[in-house]
Chain A
Amino acid sequence: MSQAIAPLPDVDHQAAHFPDGLALDCGAVVAPLTVAYRTFGKLNAKACNAVLICHALTGDQYVAENHPITGKPGWWENIIGPGKPLDTDRYFLVCANVLGGCMGTTGPRSEMTDAAGRGLGRPWGTDFPSVTIRDMVRAQKRLMESLGINRWLAVIGGSMGGMQVLEWAATYPEAVYAAAPIATAAHHSAQNIAFHEVGRAAIHSDPDWQGGRYWEAGIIPAKGLSVARMVAHITYLSEKALTRKFGRRLRGASALTFLEDVFEVESYLRHQGSTFVRRFDANSYLTITRAMDFFDLAADHDGDLAKAFRGTATRFFVASFNSDWLFPTSESRTLVRALNMAAANVSFVEIDSDKGHDAFLLEEPDFHRALGGFLAGCAERLGV
């Protein structure tokens, strides 16, 4: 590591505070609990037009506005806004940073507290308790109550966001009228855990990680975190998308050399890695990837996924993308079959796209039409 990049800038995030904290699956209690969130559109008088958007591993609550750190547009801005599938003239959209995250919600970067909730003057770091997807959902439930919402019109999310959607539907079915798990699965596969482990190993092997106490020296394990991001980024794309974007093109070099950054795809990945470390905390990355790895909805219901949804009145919209090999269609189909077994009301589309897992964030008109139509149908039934 040649040079440490300055630790993440401090930004004031809009947040709800819960002094009594949150009891976690692991037995620990995190108090106080802070949930940073953003809203878009207006909650109607009957509070029945609220839609929760759950973000993915490295996403955050800045879903439809410029990011306060990177200045980039929101990660789902292409489907949010007046007249768009997530119509801000019709729906009240809520997006919260997940528990364990690093954009204002309680996580490894927050000040560590003792059992009585007293601040200890240092970040949690690796002492932050391990969290689960269900813990993330419980934190969102607290936010929901504080906003005066009894039932979401819909809970929507892709990838890890989709895991939260499934957990919402399984844990609080009466609070979810419609659920849209997208490009996701009811458990994290061995292959996915393996890729996460490569990322974690990269962070651990960076000397600047300092056993997780990098904040003491005012540095971050930029190299390790950036390699973790590079590996992960490959899994978000398809072979076809990489070929289309970069092929075997060289970066201006006329002959092959052994220098770094020979191929354009290398330079692209490096760029992804280096920009990522400016907005994401390494210990958050470790915490959240673990939460995903632990996720196994069937295991929480005697190994029977259908049991998680038995008797549900929630309407489901399941979507997958045929070039997604991180959360392949077969996972969505397994989910759909379990939902059918539970006699749930399900829509399921497999979208034809060559963009891989990332397709759920990109311009996919069929997907957007289907999601928008599903949501509009639900809204119509509820009289929104």
Chain B
Amino acid sequence: MDGVQYVAKNMRLDLRLIAEMIPHDARVLDIGCGDGALIEYLAREKRADARGIEIDMAQVTKAVSAGLAVIHGDADNDLAFYPDGAFDYVVLSRTLQAVEKPREVLRQLLRIGRHAIVSFPNFGHWQMRWRLLWGGRMPDTETWNRPWYETPNIHPCTITDFTALCALDGYAVERWLAVDDQGLRAPWRRSLRLANMFGEQALFMMRRAGSGS
């Protein structure tokens, strides 16, 4: 993603937040893994059995060349081919808004993984509301920076939309965070309503309701 800040180990800050959520020795699938920064970190630092799926061939080649178990594929078409419960954690970062069938993708995440970690840009952020209200045009912000006619983000949602879908499909939210665009933690941790107004990115960890942790 453009304008993303890199830190030590070349990992995006939001990926570092995700990495913190994953314990040692876990089986992890990172969907939309890019060049594999997260799975490389998890494999090296947390002895994870970490694998990835990426749609951009150049990124796949880069990851595989680094010895990482990454396949060329995408969230809409390839998840159905994994067995139930194949992974402890399935990660989908900044991708949900760009898939064809977000609801089905979420269903697959929680079928193949015991936990799903999902991050997405929050369309409910005040800047979006403001620009639509006063400008009368589709918002153009740092996060939503492509015009409507060529954006890959075909399924934007707000944090409240997301929690509503989780409730509808029976997913228990285990943890959530709202963060700013650089992935830094934001202070509105107690109120989803405030997070929906002021968080630029959302990060959720879920499991199927009724299943143990």
Contact = CB atoms under 8 A, between A and B. Distances in A.
B65 A378 contact: no
A349 B67 contact: no
B162 to A, nearest CB: 27
Given A315-B69, A336-B71, A347 B81 contact: no
A80 B106 CA distance: 44
A350 B72 contact: yes
A345 interface: yes
B61 A369 contact: yes
Interface in B51-99: 51, 57, 60-61, 63-73, 78, 81-83, 86
A91 interface: no
B49 interface: yes
Contacts of A378: 67
B64 A345 contact: no
A241 interface: no
Nearest to B86: A343
Nearest to A369: B65
Nearest to A336: B71
A352 B72 CA distance: 12
Chain A interface mostly: helix
B57 A352 contact: yes
A346 B65 contact: no
B72 A377 contact: no
Contacts of A345: 49, 51, 69
Interface in A356-384: 366, 369-370, 372-374, 376-378, 380
Given A336-B71, A377-B68, A349 B81 contact: no
A340 B65 contact: no
B27 to A, nearest CB: 9
Contact of A366 (B49, B61, B73, B86): B61
Nearest to B52: A347
Contacts of B66: 373, 377
Given A348-B72, A349-B60, A350-B57, A341 B67 contact: no
Contacts of A337: 78, 81
Given A336-B71, A345-B49, A347-B70, A373 B78 contact: no
B190 to A, nearest CB: 39
A235 to B, nearest CB: 24
Contact of A348 (B65, B71, B86): B71
Contacts of B65: 369-370, 372-374
Nearest to B49: A345
Contact of B78 (A340, A349, A376, A380): A340
Interface string B133-156: 000000000000000000000000
Contact of B67 (A333, A336, A374): A374
B67 A377 contact: yes
A346 B69 contact: yes
A349 B61 contact: yes
In this complex, which of A333, A340, A349, A351 has the most chain B Cβ atoms within 10 angstroms of its Cβ? A340
A128 interface: no
Contact of B72 (A315, A343, A349): A349
A317 interface: yes
A47 B98 CA distance: 48
Contacts of A343: 82-83, 86
A379 B98 CA distance: 37
Given A348-B73, A350-B57, A366-B61, A373 B82 contact: no
In this complex, which of B57, B70, B72, B78 has the most chain A Cβ atoms within 10 angstroms of its Cβ? B72
A349 B55 CA distance: 10
A369 B57 CA distance: 13
B83 A341 contact: yes
A163 B81 CA distance: 22
A301 B24 CA distance: 36
Contact of B64 (A336, A352, A374): A374
Contacts of A338: 81
Contacts of B51: 345-346
A333 B73 CA distance: 9
A345 B60 CA distance: 15
A315 B43 CA distance: 15
Contacts of A370: 61, 64-65
A90 to B, nearest CB: 14
Nearest to B29: A340
Given A347-B69, A352-B57, A340 B64 contact: no
A44 B207 CA distance: 47
A352 B61 CA distance: 11
Nearest to B81: A337
Contacts of B69: 315, 345-347
B129 to A, nearest CB: 41
Given A341-B82, A351-B61, 16 more contacts: A318-B71, A333-B73, A340-B71, A340-B78, A341-B83, A347-B64, A347-B69, A347-B70, A349-B57, A349-B60, A350-B57, A370-B64, A370-B65, A373-B64, A373-B66, A374-B64
8 tightest CB-CB pairs across the interface, nearest first?
A: A377-B67, A373-B65, A348-B71, A337-B81, A369-B65, A370-B64, A347-B64, A340-B81
7 contacts: A340-B71, A343-B83, A343-B86, A350-B57, A351-B61, A374-B65, A377-B68
